[in-house]
Structure 1
Amino acid sequence: MSKDNLKKATFAGGCFWCMVKPFDTLPGIASVVSGYTGGDTVNPTYQQVGSGRTGHTEAVQITYDPDIMSFAELVEIYWIQTDPTDASGQFADRGSSYRPVIFYHDEEQKEVAEASKKALQDSGRFKQDIVTTIEPANPFYPAEEYHQDFYKKNSAHYNRYSKGSGRVDFINHHW
């Protein structure tokens, strides 16, 4: 993996704990960082974001090598982790800090995301509209250390949460 060629992809799909594992061990992935983006507060805390007053969304920022893993492939993996028909949050997590968003870092990513969203809508997989938004990337602030790689650090809690939130059953049923 060439460090000179690395790019960023930023996705919000509900609780960031559940968005790390699906990307973390894929070929071409240099890192997956849990954090906050899209708001007005500089370097917000988990408590500030959870209050709903900062405007931030929990997200993951992926550093990847596009020669090994394309942005289009990352977007396809992203869809499978989310309920793209729910604009009010994801699974048990409700509110704007859990809304589904693909944040694009350049025009190519924007075009890929828009085409993928249209293809998913046109596929008929879901009866409802695909409401995941596609927005320009904003400053990204890494979350506190205890949130990073949560699925590794606290696997029992992570497994209970991802199942109990409804995420696992939704993914198994719809994807």
Structure 2
Amino acid sequence: MVKPFDTLPGIHSVISGYTGGTIANPTYEQVKSGKTGHMEAIQIQYDPEIFPYEQLLELYWTQVDPTDDGGQFFDRGSNYRTAVFFHDDTQRRLAEQSRARLEASGRFNQPIVTRLLPAAPFYPAEEEHQKFYQKHPQRYQQERSESGRDAFIVQTWGKTDEMDQHAAATHKKENA
């Protein structure tokens, strides 16, 4: 989930990590076990004047299967379920509206099961998990392809995350 957001105008940082569980500072192995209650997540620091929260939500929806309650693509388990974590009532309201628009769009035959949850303590993942797409580009691309994520994105949205990045940059220029 890092790459689609990482290089866009107004995005200051995208950190891989864990949130929502029962222990402080979990390790990847603990989270991967599914026993801590954490979910793998990203924390995005952004400038809302350049990249509004609504735009973060729009890009997020194009990167996940919001109808899959068992994980995402070949990553299975509760720690891989989709969720939007909100930090205040405004973000909660915007996330609810965004999810409702997606549900009403008729794009999916199954119900949207992505959770909208209050932000909980966020624990950055170990350094080896940060910016994985840059550190291991071939492995990253192979895993995206083999997982079915890229095929799902193209089938569902007709575009790839690189196309989303271009659209986001164009949106910024048009609204500057």
In the superposition, the TM-score normalised over structure 2's length comes to: 0.89
| Aligned residue type for 1:174 | T
Equivalent residues in 2 for 1:62-81, closer than 5 Å: 62-81=44-63
CA distance in 2, matches of 1:34, 1:106: 21
Gapped regions of structure 1 (runs ≥ 5): 1-18
Q: Is the aligned partner of 1:52 residue 2:34?
A: yes
Matched residue of 1:160: which SS?
A: helix
User: Aligned partner of 2:93: which letter?
Assistant: E
1:51: Cα distance to partner? 0.8
Specify the code of the residue in structure 2 equivalent to 1:69.
F
Is 1:127–2:109 an aligned residue pair? yes
How far has the Cα of 1:33 moved from its partner? 0.1
Q: Which structure carries more strand by proportion?
A: 1
Identify the residue that residue 141 of structure 1 maps to in structure 2. 123
Structure 1 Cα separation of the partners of residues 110 and 150 of structure 2: 20
Cα distance in structure 1, aligned partners of 2:117 and 2:70: 16
Query: Which residue does the alignment assign to 1:109?
Result: 91
Gap regions ≥5 residues in structure 2: 158-176
Letter in 1 for 2:88: D
RMSD over aligned CA atoms reads: 0.4
> Does residue 164 of the first structure (1) align with residue 152 of the second (2)?
no
- Aligned partners of 2:136 and 2:89: how far apart in 1? 37
Which has the larger share of helix? 2
Q: Superposition pairs for residues 84-103 of structure 1, below 5 Å?
A: 84-103=66-85
The alpha carbon displacement at 1:128 in A equals: 0.7
For 1:24-77, what per-residue CA distance to the aligned partner results, in whole angstroms no more than 9, with x for missing partners?
011100000000001011000000001111000000000000111000000000
Q: Secondary structure at the match of 2:99?
A: helix
What is the distance in 1 between the residues matched to 2:130 and 2:88?
26
Give the corresponding residue for 2:136.
154
> Whole-Å Cα distance in 2 between the matches of residues 25 and 147 of structure 1?
17
Q: Which residue of 1 aligns with 2:17?
A: 35
Report the 3-state secondary structure (helix = DSSP H, G, I; strand = E; otherwise coil) of the residue aligned with 1:61: strand
Once the 2 structures are TM-superposed, how far is the Cα of residue 87 of structure 1 from its aligned partner?
1.1
SS at match of 1:168: helix
Q: Segments of 4+ in structure 1 off by > 4 A?
A: none
